């Protein structure tokens, strides 16, 4: 697999070069000059030439469409939620989403997502990969596909999961080189990035390691590292990362206090701000997770608590991406593995509901201020009670399957969703078997 650009110099050589630049810039007035120069260089890049990136704001547990993007206030299924007007005339959101409502003109909202998975793990797999789980093959998440389809020379990982829970984006049959790099609240340092010994001692250790590697390769499998282990390459990349100035992208403290305040004083808010900085640095896919949406009891209160955090961070993310002129090249996707039942259960909760839920998209070629599909405000009560098989035709209008969503997002990212890849079991698979929903995209 072509995971690493091998045309450049080795990581250890890069480290020395960077040190040299560091010394040079220090003599000119300090290390900040290097970073400043990098920022200047990046700013001068032709933004239209930058590849497209993906930001997934992942609501783990199943957010209630009725308490967020698809309220039916005043109806039998609406619950206690109120509707509020948005920046798009005639479109209302739940009153939990006041800040996002003012950014709705930047988004494309699907209110008719359907799937066949009602279990958290299976449904998460389904939405993150675009495929239903199969025992014989593990499909790659959309972030892994994006990274596979577009190699780069970044010193930090190109696929990152911030606040990852149980099921971050996995690379499946593409191999772990495309797994998401997992990290926690950006308020804290990234674990295992700092050597546990002084610099000189670390270099001595690397020197001994190189001796061992040379000895091990003697007489063994040709191109051992390139074609088999990638162990030394990974060591180089890890060492590069440990000393990379690009790591600064994780550090949200470099942003002004007022900007940080916009995203809210929450780990999710900080995660969103870090995600923007990472995307700006060249990372191709960042996933930021906010959990706690599985509200089988006391739905209204728990959803409102979660939505408060999501709303502020989501609205700030959309505004910030627009301010930085990044929205054209960044696809934002916000949603969870399924929605929640229209029927409120005896514990005042809502249960799992994959038969009509919402997914918010923004950026790139996605239409702005557009709402696609709808859910039925008066669904057949026998379907709600499980006495009848849920019928997408009855429950939603213009339903969108998970596979169709993936085909559309991949297309918006510039990846041909029909491209096939040979899986380890010898079965060629396309990136997605869905169809592009043209209606969601701006006309070319």
Partner 1 sequence: MVSRKVLQPILMFGVLLFAASIATSVLRSRPAIRVSTVGTDGFAKDLRPVIDSCNSDLDHWIQTANMPAAGQADNLTIARRVALGLIGSGLSLEEIRAMELVPESQQIEWVTNYLLQDRRWADYFGERFARAMVGTDEGPFLLFRRRRFNTWLSEQLHEDVGYDSIVRSVIASEGLWTDTPSVNFITASMSEENQQRCNAVVLAGRTSRTFLAQRIDCLQCHDDFIDQHNFGSIEKPIPGLQTHFHELAAFYGTTGIKDNPFSGIREAGGNYETKLLGSTDPTTIEPEVPFNKELLPSEGKPRQRLATWLTHPDNKAFSRATVNRVWALLFSRPLVEPVDSIPLEGDIPAILDTLADDFSKHEFNMRRLVRLIVSTDAFRRDSRAEFEVTKDHEACLAVFPITQLRPDQVAGCMIQAGRISTIDLDSSVFLRLARYGNTNDFLRDFGDRGVDEFQSDAITISQRLVLMNGNLVTDRTQQNIVANAATRVARLVSDDKKAIDSVFLSVLGRSPSSTEAEKLCQHICGKFGDDRVKAISDIYWAMMNSTEFAWNH
CA distance 199 to 193: 13
Least Å distance, CB 30 to partner 1, is 27
Q: In the set 44, 49, 192, 256, which binds partner 1 (CB under 8 A)? A: 192
Residues 76 and 337: beta-carbon distance below 8 Å: no
What is the 3-state composition of the chain as percent helix, strand, coil, each rounded to the nearest 5? 40, 15, 45
| Residue nearer to partner 1 on the CB measure, 145 or 331 | 145
- Using CB atoms within 10 Å of the CB of residue 216, give its burial: 0 to 12 exposed, 13 to 18 middle, 19+ buried: middle
Residues 245 and 38: beta-carbon distance below 8 Å: yes
Q: In the set 7, 211, 256, 257, which binds partner 1 (CB under 8 A)? A: 211
157 near partner 1, judged by CB under 8 A: yes
| Residue nearer to partner 1 on the CB measure, 222 or 444 | 222
Least Å distance, CB 296 to partner 1, is 12
Residue 345 has which token pair? 């259960």
Q: In the set 75, 188, 194, 254, which binds partner 1 (CB under 8 A)? A: 194
6 near partner 1, judged by CB under 8 A: no
CA distance 105 to 87: 6
CA distance 355 to 401: 10
Instruction: Name beta bridge partners: 93.
Output: 84
Least Å distance, CB 230 to partner 1, is 4
Site residues (CB under 8 A) for partner 1, limited to 65-124: 119, 121
204 near partner 1, judged by CB under 8 A: yes
Residue 208 dihedral angles phi and psi, to the nearest 5°: -65, -40
**Which residues touch 378 (CB under 8 Å, ≥6 apart)?**
75, 76, 77
**Which residues touch 222 (CB under 8 Å, ≥6 apart)?**
none
Give me the sign of the Cα torsion angle 110, 115, 119, 122.
negative
232 near partner 1, judged by CB under 8 A: yes
Q: In the set 29, 90, 135, 346, which binds partner 1 (CB under 8 A)? A: 135
Tell me, residue by residue from 244 to 283, as one string, x for binding to partner 1 by CB under 8 A and - for no binding.
----------------------------------------
12 near partner 1, judged by CB under 8 A: no
Q: In the set 6, 89, 196, 443, which binds partner 1 (CB under 8 A)? A: 196
Distances (CA, A) of 242 to 30, 37, 146, 196: 20, 20, 24, 12
221 near partner 1, judged by CB under 8 A: yes
Q: In the set 22, 165, 175, 369, which binds partner 1 (CB under 8 A)? A: 175
Binding-site ranges for partner 1 (CB under 8 A):
1, 3, 119, 121, 134-136, 138, 157, 175-177, 179, 181-182, 191-196, 201, 204-206, 208-209, 211-213, 215-216, 218-222, 224-225, 228-232, 234-235, 237-238, 241-242, 424-425
């Amino acid at each position: 697999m072509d995971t690493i650009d091998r045309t450049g110099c080795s990581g250890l050589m890069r480290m020395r070069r960077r040190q040299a630049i560091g010394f040079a810039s220090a003599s000119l007035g300090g290390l900040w000059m290097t970073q400043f120069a990098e920022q200047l260089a990046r700013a001068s890049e032709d933004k239209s030439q930058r590849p497209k990136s993906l930001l997934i704001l992942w609501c783990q547990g199943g957010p209630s469409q009725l308490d967020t993007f698809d309220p039916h206030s005043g109806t039998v299924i609406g619950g206690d939620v109120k509707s509020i007007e948005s920046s798009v005339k005639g479109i209302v959101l739940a009153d939990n989403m006041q800040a996002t409502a003012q950014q709705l003109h930047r988004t494309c909202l699907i209110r008719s997502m359907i799937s066949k998975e009602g279990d958290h793990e299976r449904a998460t797999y389904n939405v993150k990969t675009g495929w239903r789980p199969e025992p014989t093959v593990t499909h790659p998440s959309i972030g892994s596909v994006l990274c596979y389809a577009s190699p780069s020379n970044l010193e930090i990982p190109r696929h990152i999961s911030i606040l990852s829970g149980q099921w971050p984006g996995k690379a499946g049959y593409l191999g772990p080189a495309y797994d998401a790099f997992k990290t926690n609240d950006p308020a804290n340092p990234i674990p295992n990035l700092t050597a546990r010994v002084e610099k000189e001692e670390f270099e001595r250790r690397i020197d001994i390691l190189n001796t061992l590697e040379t000895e091990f390769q003697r007489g063994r499998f040709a191109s051992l590292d390139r074609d088999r282990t990638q162990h030394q390459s990974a060591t180089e990349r890890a060492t590069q990362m440990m000393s990379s100035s690009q790591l600064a992208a994780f550090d949200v403290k470099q942003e002004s206090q007022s900007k940080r305040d916009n995203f809210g004083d929450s780990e999710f808010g900080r995660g969103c701000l870090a995600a923007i900085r990472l995307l700006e640095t060249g990372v191709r896919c960042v996933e930021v997770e906010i959990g706690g949406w599985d509200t089988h009891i006391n739905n209204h209160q728990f959803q409102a608590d979660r939505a408060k955090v999501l709303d502020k961070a989501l609205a700030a993310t959309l505004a910030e991406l627009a301010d930085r002129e990044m929205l054209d090249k960044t696809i934002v996707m916000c949603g969870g593995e399924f929605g929640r039942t229209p029927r409120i259960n005896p514990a005042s909760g809502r249960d799992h509901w994959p038969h009509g839920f919402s997914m918010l998209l923004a950026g790139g070629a996605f239409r702005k201020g557009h709402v696609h599909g709808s859910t039925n405000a008066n669904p057949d009560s026998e379907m709600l009670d499980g006495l009848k098989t849920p019928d997408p035709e009855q429950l939603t209008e213009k339903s969108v399957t998970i596979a169709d969503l993936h085909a559309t997002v991949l297309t918006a990212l510039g990846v041909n969703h029909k491209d096939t890849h040979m899986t380890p079991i010898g079965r060629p698979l396309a990136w997605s078997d869905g169809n592009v929903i043209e209606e969601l995209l701006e006309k070319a």
